């Protein structure tokens, strides 16, 4: 792989561009707006405001979806999931896990899961 290509890949990863594009694509497919470009502009404005803590980050899933996902992960009804299940759920949703500081033996409750997802 050429040095320029690797620099480009590093740049995209450093700025989390693939995850952002994945999330935006998922939002468009989920909502199927009549005017997708305007919808994407509004979503990016929400991302920008959410990062400045001035607004709510655009969500693909509502509270019921998050509870249902947790229920699928907690198939035996223990009231918690493992750290590995938690990381995998975040990855599946396209959420970053690189900065996640959680011990491998941690127990994730529904409250924690809902707050983070």
d(CA 75, CA 71): 6
Q: Is residue 20 included in any domain, yes or no? A: yes
Q: Is residue 101 included in any domain, yes or no? A: yes
- Residue 25's pLDDT band (cuts 50, 70, 90): confident
- Residue 1's pLDDT band (cuts 50, 70, 90): low
pLDDT of the residue at 36: 93
pLDDT of the residue at 94: 63
- Residue 96's pLDDT band (cuts 50, 70, 90): low
**39, 81: one domain:** no
| Global pTM exceeds 0.85 | no
Q: What mean pLDDT do residues 17-40 have?
A: 86
80-82/107-109 β-pairing: antiparallel
- Residue 7's pLDDT band (cuts 50, 70, 90): very high
**39, 72: one domain:** no
d(CA 31, CA 33): 6
Q: Is residue 56 included in any domain, yes or no? A: no
User: Residue 20 is part of which domain span?
Assistant: 3-51
Q: What mean pLDDT do residues 67-96 have?
A: 83
CATH number, domain with residue 76: 1.10.238
Q: Is residue 108 included in any domain, yes or no? A: yes
Domain boundary among 51, 73, 88: 51
Quote the number of domains for the chain: 2
């Amino acid at each position: 792989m050429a040095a320029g290509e690797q620099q480009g890949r590093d740049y995209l990863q450093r700025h989390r561009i693939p995850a952002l594009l994945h999330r935006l694509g998922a939002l468009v497919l989920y909502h199927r707006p009549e005017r997708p470009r305007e919808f994407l502009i509004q979503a990016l404005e929400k991302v920008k405001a959410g990062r400045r803590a001035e607004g709510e980050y655009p969500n693909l899933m509502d509270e019921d979806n998050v509870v249902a996902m947790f229920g699928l992960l907690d198939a035996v009804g223990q009231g918690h999931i493992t750290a590995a299940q938690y990381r995998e759920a975040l990855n599946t949703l396209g959420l970053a896990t690189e900065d996640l500081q959680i011990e491998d033996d941690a127990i994730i409750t529904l409250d924690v899961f809902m707050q983070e997802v």
